[in-house]
Structure 1
């Protein structure tokens, strides 16, 4: 336990009286780097542990007593104030590494990868080298405020020759800032458990609020069955991609998440051969696009492994799709493959096509319209053809053939939403601002 010892210093007050100071003293057992007691006499097997005398000096008796009251409960619990001080002087990066290493085997690999990326991008540079005990709630508030400030577009999302000064300024989304804040909070939780700090400074930082008081909060408006059918029909007939029109219908009336949709194989569908009979789809895996290919994982939780019923009319559409469009979907065909992806992707614009394929052969043929402000060519006297675009209302002259899809990779739900669903919502359904497809969920 700690005690107080008063002593005179070599100074006097205004009346010539000696000034007293107060020393808080205590003994602690000396320990090595592994936490084992260091023997006082190394050559003796029964040697008592070596003890270290710790001293702290205070100007007043009250402050010295406050320190004693703080130290003694810790000593009674077997804690060392000196060890706690040393732990607080360690950098935040040490506790970040301990937290990330402790997640191995506890969370999915992609979740751990996201945590590591959040720490590397948003936490490591401003706070990683700081002593963990020196990080205050004010520091956390300042750090979060800096995340909200505009910054140059990242290097991977702009031309290589463009500098930061030339790049467009962008701001991080609120969800990105939230994930960065949660990463820092969980790292500091480890420091609290280890005794490096007494409280997590993130706990006193309030949640962010919208800065524009006139901004209306987002409110999703689910589409009705007729509206979903209109969107699907527009994708199939006007945009010329009937397979992706079926994808929209399937997603809307099964409620599968994006990763679950991409994770489906042909064998996951259970469709009776009788026309009009209801079917079902088994959800057992997820896929997401990563650099260099696709990553296969398990669903979000145990309850996410489920069997979803399919209405009879949708089951009929899927039966026709497997028999007429999918190269490996017909159970009666020798090419049937239960492990083939159920819904295919597309060849990218800059992607090399397989031998024997031409871009004009795999794309739909659509009616083109000319912009009203298209310039006239000085040579030909005709409008510049670069200002032509597909007619957003006229049906396609020829839809994309099924052979033009990339059946070796799954459908990319993000690409469907951006290139097919969003234009169809804008054209085929009136007053669709903020509309969402009923039953869909975007996160896997």
Structure 2
């Protein structure tokens, strides 16, 4: 049995410890907290993490942006509402039923490592961790814990995981050439070939593309001297808790007007002629879709080992490989377009985009695209094409919706390698002129020894 006194002089006791050592540790902790002015009743820590999370969420509802609050709520949702491996790696799955005073730093560190081992990005792991930390901090504030067990947990960085620089995109496979972009577009069924083309030649984020409406496209009069159109970014789309939400753009700078090339302007003009709701400004520009079952190809899908460890392909990889065998026409035929709803990018990515990357390689007869090419690489491609075209950093930053030019420079620093030839010529011109010397009178700066 443990005995201790609270700050008001009242005696307390607790039974039920398995060992005398456990009782003494409990008693020591309680007395230490009293001596240091910390009001703490160890019995209050029996509340579960799940219940503490509800208290924390309620306390934050009024001071968070709705999209941020919804994101936290989804991250803390029970296992049934999570998808994929987050059904067993999600916050509630790992910590939800545990009393907060039973959660240790070692438990949290092990969870962080499990997420990394499952292939989660460092940024994803850090985001989940900080939610756990904030919930446990609520328990400390409510005198349910003496300290936060999330303190001193080591978090991954891009450098610690893969040797890269945090926030810097310098992988050559993330930057496509115009020829590669065309190969991808040609391998996609309509209307998502237009979707990918606009992504690569406007730099919009996936959520921004899905949030576009017919009225967001500014097309010049075909008889006017102006040939270039523009796209206005007014909203973004996110899946939160399984529901499609239309939200404000990521930052103030994300609400913007992006000029379009003549080719993209012409492509969108033709696309809108085919759009069944082209006269409705608030109609989704790109439709959502349902999928019919693909026709059998008669070819057994191959299951190949990937990586040095010989691991089997995932179900998604096998699905993409099978669908890549379809012709572009067959891929288009299995789409059931829903023009009343904005595109759900996640479904498009798995069922249309990933197969198209592999299909492009099949059609080319060689790996014209990196097999694991992600959709966000099209945004990186836009940045690289802008830099190659000589567009100033300030304008590239504005087009991409970054908060400030320094953000663009830090992400794509290797693209902005400065050419100092003009400056050095000007600096060299300031040196006093020297009389021309005969060839045999030239003395080298360093003599051979």
Please report the TM-score for the alignment, with normalisation by the length of structure 2. 0.56
**How far, CA to CA, are the matches of 1:128 and 1:293 in structure 2?**
23
**How far, CA to CA, are the matches of 2:34 and 2:55 in structure 1?**
27
Specify which of 180, 184, 192 is matched with residue 231 of structure 1: 184
* Structure 1 position 136 matched with structure 2 position 104: yes
Provide the residue aligned with 1:432 in structure 2.
370
Provide the residue aligned with 2:404 in structure 1.
none
**Partner deviation per Cα, 1:9-55 (whole Å, 9 max, x = no partner):** xxxxxxxxxxxxxx997862xxxxxxxxxxxxxxxxxxxxxxx4448
**Partner deviation per Cα, 1:304-331 (whole Å, 9 max, x = no partner):** 2222222222112212222x211232xx
The count of aligned residue pairs is 319
Specify which of 270, 277, 285 is matched with residue 342 of structure 1: 285
Shift, 1:118, TM fit: 3.5
**Partner deviation per Cα, 1:306-365 (whole Å, 9 max, x = no partner):** 22222222112212222x211232xxxxxx111111112334317xxxxxxxx99xxxxx
**How far, CA to CA, are the matches of 2:289 and 2:7 in structure 1?**
72
* Structure 1 position 413 matched with structure 2 position 345: yes
Provide the residue aligned with 1:326 in structure 2.
275
Provide the residue aligned with 1:263 in structure 2.
211
Specify which of 188, 193, 196 is matched with residue 136 of structure 2: 188
More displaced, 217-226 or 272-281?
217-226
Indicate conservation of the 8 Å contact 2:357/2:369, yes or no: no
Shift, 1:191, TM fit: 2.3
**How far, CA to CA, are the matches of 1:294 and 1:96 in structure 2?**
24
**How far, CA to CA, are the matches of 1:117 and 1:132 in structure 2?**
20
Gaps of 5+ in 1: 1-22, 29-51, 57-63, 150-170, 236-240, 330-335, 351-358, 361-367, 374-388
Gaps of 5+ in 2: 14-26, 80-89, 165-169, 302-321, 382-449
Mapping of residues 185-264 of structure 1, within 5 Å? 185-207=133-155, 219=171, 220-235=173-188, 241-264=189-212
**Partner deviation per Cα, 1:65-91 (whole Å, 9 max, x = no partner):** 9998864551xxxx5x3x454544544
Mapping of residues 138-157 of structure 1, within 5 Å? 138-143=106-111
Asked which structure has the greater CA Rg, the reply is 1
Specify which of 416, 419, 422 is matched with residue 354 of structure 2: 422
Indicate conservation of the 8 Å contact 2:49/2:95, yes or no: yes
**How far, CA to CA, are the matches of 1:73 and 1:320 in structure 2?**
73
Shift, 1:111, TM fit: 4.4
Provide the residue aligned with 2:256 in structure 1.
306
**How far, CA to CA, are the matches of 1:393 and 1:348 in structure 2?**
14
Provide the residue aligned with 1:281 in structure 2.
231
Indicate conservation of the 8 Å contact 1:232/1:248, yes or no: yes
SS at match of 1:204: coil
**Partner deviation per Cα, 1:367-405 (whole Å, 9 max, x = no partner):** x986599xxxxxxxxxxxxxxx99969885997699x74
Provide the residue aligned with 1:101 in structure 2.
58
**How far, CA to CA, are the matches of 1:432 and 1:26 in structure 2?**
65
Shift, 1:263, TM fit: 1.0
Provide the residue aligned with 1:168 in structure 2.
none
**How far, CA to CA, are the matches of 1:70 and 1:262 in structure 2?**
53
Shift, 1:142, TM fit: 4.7
Indicate conservation of the 8 Å contact 1:27/1:54, yes or no: no
Indicate conservation of the 8 Å contact 1:251/1:440, yes or no: no
The structure with the greater share of residues assigned to strand is 1
Indicate conservation of the 8 Å contact 2:287/2:341, yes or no: yes
Change (3 A) 1:134 1:266: same
**How far, CA to CA, are the matches of 2:130 and 2:331 in structure 1?**
50
Change (3 A) 1:111 1:26: closer
**How far, CA to CA, are the matches of 2:11 and 2:290 in structure 1?**
71
Report the RMSD for the aligned CA atoms in angstroms.
4.7
**Partner deviation per Cα, 1:142-169 (whole Å, 9 max, x = no partner):** 55567789xxxxxxxxxxxxxxxxxxxx
Please report the TM-score for the alignment, with normalisation by the length of structure 1. 0.57
Change (3 A) 1:309 1:85: same
The structure with the greater share of residues assigned to helix is 2
